[in-house]
Structure 1
Amino acid sequence: MSNRNLQMARKERLKLLREVEGLLSYITDPVLVVDAEGKIVHANSAAEQILERSQIIMIGKHFTEFVQSESLSKYIHQGKPVANLAVNMINSKGAHLDFSCRLHPLLVDAQVEGAILFFTKPALRQEQEKSFRYGTRFSLDDVIGSSPAIVALKEQVMKIAKSESTVLIRGESGTGKEVLAQSIHRLSHRNKGPFVAINCAAIPESLLESELFGYEEGAFTGAKKGGKPGRFELAKGGTLFLDEIGDMPLYLQAKLLRVLQERRIERVGGTKAIEVDVRIIAATHKDLESMIANNQFREDLYFRLNVIPLYVPPLRERKEDLYELIQYYMHKFCKRFGKEPKRFSSQALKKIFDYHWPGNIRELENMVEYIVNLEIGDLVTVSSLPASIREMSEDENRDMAEEQQEPQTLNHLSKSLYRVNEMEEQLIIQALQRFGTSTEGKRKAAEALGISLATLYRRLEKMKRRRQFSK
């Protein structure tokens, strides 16, 4: 072949490559283009992201530096098309990522000039990712506590979980309403289906309708080609959790009511009715009855949602559970951060029990994480507590508690005080076991507990009298 013909052939190849590169830039899955020897001549942006390397670094290198496969090289040399070949893509950190490879040979005059390698995630992996995205992380075991209120709540959940009826969970912010919703789903007949959650307060009003019901292609400017399914469709065969339902705008409440009545939806911009097979669990911290009186929430929707009402009590109404919750989160964060569990001094525990806990379990969890991160020693004293807990006076706590507690909660408080005494005894016994019962041992124990030696002797005397009385 003459030089002129070689130059023309080279130009044709370059033109072909540019056209291929332009087309591949629109593909969202990773793609590599290799020559007949297996050297990379192009990588699209998706491949750059997956492999965590720029195209400049990859060009000219053999594909086997980035893709692990026993037979892919053979198929490239043979110019043989292949579908669904299992391979590993190796990122910059050395992690092996499971992919399926589809090979399309590049032939010029029946000669193998290279191949286009398309990589897709295996169907099972895609299904697993979907399951993870719309799965559950919590079960009823994650509802921590043994107080009468929590025991009764768990019993209610066990009874109603297998029902198809709509559930309305009421409770203050931070009490664990979504944990309860996931627990219901896990115990239901729908537990193999998705658990899809949407926070009605977190999504802008203009987007909430399309998020819930989906939209058709061309429904509005910027609508995705082919349309998009909403949360009702995504939750097919499973549970849809409508968190903060009290923040849903009135016009959407009317549409939701219709869906609950007819079990059909219409996408935004669509005319076709789509049947929905979901169980609805709603939750709110708002006073829906007051909102109904002020025309802020539809009464008919309230009755549709409030078929099975559940109430999650605030932490101040179940202080008996405080110690159990602290131990649970202490174990969780110490394990996560690789630290040893810590003990609480009696004064620190008293501060914790005196505190009103306006942020409920979420605030308690944050407190324990704060302590595990910042406390160097193995004893948590008052000075180790967050300022909000440490500085709030008992008078302020008492005033706040009296405003919100009902008379029957006094029984819970007396039980809480009894639990504090129990924990004090446990801490004192642990300290004495560690340092001994000699005078020097007691002095060290008192120092470790953050109290004076005289106070320790008074506590020991009180423990002795209590045990004599119990006999």
Structure 2
Amino acid sequence: MLVRDIMDLSLEALPIVKLADGEHYLNEAAENFVEGGFILVVDEKGCLLGKINRYNLDQGTPAHKLRSLIEPVKDTILFNENAFELVSYFKEGNKGVVYVIDQEKKLIGAVSWKNRAVHMLSRIKDYAPFFPNIFDAMYEAIIIIDYTGTIIYVNHAYTNIVGVPAGKILGKKMEDIEPTSMCLKVLKGHPPVLNQKILIESIGVQVLANITPFYVNGKLQGVISVFRNIYETINLSDELKKMRDIAQYLHNELKSKDKLPRAFNALVGNNRYFREALVLAATVAPTDAVVMIRGESGVGKELLAEAIHKSSSRKNYPFIKVNCAAIPESLLESELFGYEEGAFTGAKKGGKPGKFELAQKGTIFLDEVGDMSPAMQAKLLRVIQEKEIEKIGGKKTVHVDVRIISATNKDLETMVVKKQFREDLYYRLNVIPIFLPPLKRRKDDIPLLVDYFLKLYCKKHNKGKMIVSSEVMNIFLKHEWPGNIRELKNVIEHAVILCSSDMITTKHLPWYLKNAQADDIKLPEWQKETLPELVEKLEKDVITRVLKKYGNKSSAIKALGISRRTFYLKLKKYQIDISNI
């Protein structure tokens, strides 16, 4: 039970003066406050500032001077504190009022020393001083009656479920509130109730209840009832059914993800986000929807575009790739739309068809579309809208039936804001965006990808079956792969070519990954040493590790990047004995 559940003095019942905008305002209770004494002071937000003697208000003291006359109010309590805190306060003989505030110190009411609920709480606290906090943390409602049938406790959940404030029933007889209550029957000897549906007749609420008598020193002291709204229980059952249905759906989805079209077989990985991208791509593949594949360079955007094409109704027609960043701006228009004979100096006899024309009834893949100039963006937009092209030097338009798949590693949204990419073209191309995660975000797929590429390149280079050492795999898992899948492919092919055995070790890796194989240097823990002392400790550790790794002084000096003289000075300084390494 919380303090707010048993407040017996509302905000309106408290004499309050509000200070705001250089003025002060009295509420009705303060206006009618004729006795001498103090009035509460709040600011314009209702936050409690303290108290002030009514005499100062009667003397017409200006509002700006009233603040200096405010005295602190010590007897305050947070509204969400456990109500048992008030028992201790009033047991000490205090006969005043405790003011209730929220976390922002906003005044919301008060509890007086005459509060009946507080007196009931003092009785139940004698039974078990430790359990009120536990009861108030429970989701189920709790009501306790003593051996006389008097209600001596309800928790906070009771108020929420039944809708009756605790202050209205504490101290009252159960037979006056609920004459047919099962609590009274159990008190008179009825067997305990376990998970039984009961109707609280006074409010018409059905609950699922457990009602049990309790004893102290072998003597019956009362009955405790723990219950919850039966409709909430039914709802929980429904929610459980929904969760089971969702689990079944997800299980089916996972199964469906294993049934991607055959064209997707070259896209290897089980990472959740990667698989979600593949499922989306497979879903839109049979349609003619315009797709934009987003992701860093090397994540496999072209491979996914080709898989979409091969899984579509256009699979028997051309798949034409265009790298918009690789073609000079001056040539891009002729590459995309073609040209007629004599269109410009050097134009081929008979002209040349453009990529759109070559992709007729098939798919055109516009890679790095974010690198297009504004002029080319406008011309591409016209093709998408009108479904026709006009060759350079031509006088008539050519209808094209082409599906467009684009790709970019650029932040197009920012480019649109900066007017670097046409907003209308962005929306035309970004109908179905598919995001491919970088390899550093799908490191759980690295062992699978390594195995896939090993088989691929061992076959390509006529090598036997190979595996990678655990040390190599650890390097792969730690590496950030800025070049993504493309970089991993190159590393595996590099290692396969150099390896003459059946196991790839660190010596078969490219130089930049070999350097990554050194054990991580563990920084010494600070034990109140000075910074120079810590540096010396780390320096000695590094020199020892490097000597152990390379086995000779010359290689160690080269790896450390220091002069031979400095190296020997360090050995002497740190008393490093090479013979023992």
Shorter-chain TM range is: 0.5 to 0.7
* Change over 3 Å in CA distance of 1:342–1:393 after alignment to 2: closer
Please give the per-residue CA displacement for 1:185-236, whole angstroms capped at 9, x wherever unaligned. 0000111110011100111111100000011111100111111110111000
**Contact 1:244–1:282 at 8 Å: present in 2 too?**
yes
Corresponding position of 2:404:
280
Corresponding position of 1:250:
374
Bigger proportion of residues as helix = 1
Quick check: which has more Rg, 1 or 2? 2
Q: 1:326 aligned to 450, 455, 468, which one?
A: 450
Corresponding position of 2:466:
342
Corresponding position of 1:204:
328
In the alignment, the residues of structure 1 paired with residue 505 and residue 321 of structure 2 have an alpha-carbon distance, to the nearest angstrom, of 39
In the alignment, the residues of structure 2 paired with residue 353 and residue 306 of structure 1 have an alpha-carbon distance, to the nearest angstrom, of 33
Deviation at residue 339 of structure 1 after TM alignment = 0.7
One-letter amino acid matched to 1:286:
K
**Larger RCO, structure (CA 8 Å, separation 6 or more):** 1
Corresponding position of 1:265:
389
Please give the per-residue CA displacement for 1:389-442, whole angstroms capped at 9, x wherever unaligned. 22237999xxxxxxxxxxxxxxxxxxxxxxxxxxxxxxxxxxxxxxxxxxxxxx
In the alignment, the residues of structure 2 paired with residue 149 and residue 388 of structure 1 have an alpha-carbon distance, to the nearest angstrom, of 29
**Contact 2:381–2:425 at 8 Å: present in 1 too?**
yes
* Change over 3 Å in CA distance of 1:230–1:355 after alignment to 2: same
Matched, 1:366 2:480: no
Corresponding position of 2:223:
none
In the alignment, the residues of structure 2 paired with residue 204 and residue 331 of structure 1 have an alpha-carbon distance, to the nearest angstrom, of 38
Deviation at residue 293 of structure 1 after TM alignment = 2.2
Structure 2 stretches of 5 or more lacking a match? 1-261, 521-581
Corresponding position of 1:388:
512
One-letter amino acid matched to 2:371:
D
Structure 1 stretches of 5 or more lacking a match? 1-137, 397-471
* Change over 3 Å in CA distance of 1:274–1:284 after alignment to 2: same
Q: 1:308 aligned to 432, 456, 461, which one?
A: 432
Deviation at residue 242 of structure 1 after TM alignment = 0.4
One-letter amino acid matched to 1:285:
N
In the alignment, the residues of structure 1 paired with residue 270 and residue 368 of structure 2 have an alpha-carbon distance, to the nearest angstrom, of 27
**Contact 2:454–2:467 at 8 Å: present in 1 too?**
no
One-letter amino acid matched to 1:251:
A
Corresponding position of 1:143:
267
Identity over aligned pairs, percent? 52
In the alignment, the residues of structure 1 paired with residue 511 and residue 446 of structure 2 have an alpha-carbon distance, to the nearest angstrom, of 19
Cα-Cα RMSD: 1.6
In the alignment, the residues of structure 2 paired with residue 162 and residue 381 of structure 1 have an alpha-carbon distance, to the nearest angstrom, of 44
**Contact 2:440–2:481 at 8 Å: present in 1 too?**
yes
Corresponding position of 2:26:
none
One-letter amino acid matched to 1:292:
V
In the alignment, the residues of structure 2 paired with residue 287 and residue 394 of structure 1 have an alpha-carbon distance, to the nearest angstrom, of 36
* Change over 3 Å in CA distance of 1:394–1:356 after alignment to 2: farther
* 1:164-183 paired onto structure 2 within 5 Å: 164-183=288-307
One-letter amino acid matched to 2:423:
E
Deviation at residue 294 of structure 1 after TM alignment = 2.3
Runs of 4+ in 1 over 4 A off after TM superposition: 393-396
SS at match of 2:370: helix
* Change over 3 Å in CA distance of 1:375–1:394 after alignment to 2: closer
Deviation at residue 264 of structure 1 after TM alignment = 0.9
Matched, 1:236 2:372: no
Corresponding position of 1:352:
476
In the alignment, the residues of structure 2 paired with residue 275 and residue 212 of structure 1 have an alpha-carbon distance, to the nearest angstrom, of 14
